[in-house]
Amino acid sequence: MLDTVFLIVYGMIAISLLLNLWRLIIGPSVPDRILALDTMFINTIALIILYGMSMDTDLYFEAALLIAMLGFVSTVAVCKYLLRGDIIE
Q: How confident is the model at residue 4 (pLDDT cuts 50, 70, 90)?
A: very high
Count: domains in the chain: 1
Task: Inform me whether the pLDDT recorded for 10 exceeds 90.
Answer: yes
Q: Provide the pLDDT for residue 78.
A: 87
> Please, how many CA atoms are within 13 Å of residue 24, restricted to the half-sphere of its CB?
13
Q: What is the pLDDT of residue 88?
A: 74
Query: What is d(CA 33, CA 40) in angstroms, rounded to the nearest whole number?
Result: 10
Q: Using one digit for the tens of pLDDT, what is the confidence trace for 12-71?
A: 999 999 999 999 999 899 889 989 999 999 999 999 999 999 999 989 999 999 999 998
Asked if residue 17 belongs to a domain, the reply is yes
Residues with Cβ within 8 Å of 65's Cβ and at least 6 positions away in sequence, in order, are none
Cβ count near 20 (within 10 Å)? 21
Query: Which residue range(s) make up the domain with 46?
Result: 2-84
* Residue 89 falls inside a structural domain: no
Is 50 inside a domain boundary?
yes
Residue 57 in domain = yes
Instruction: Give domain status of residue 76, yes or no.
Output: yes
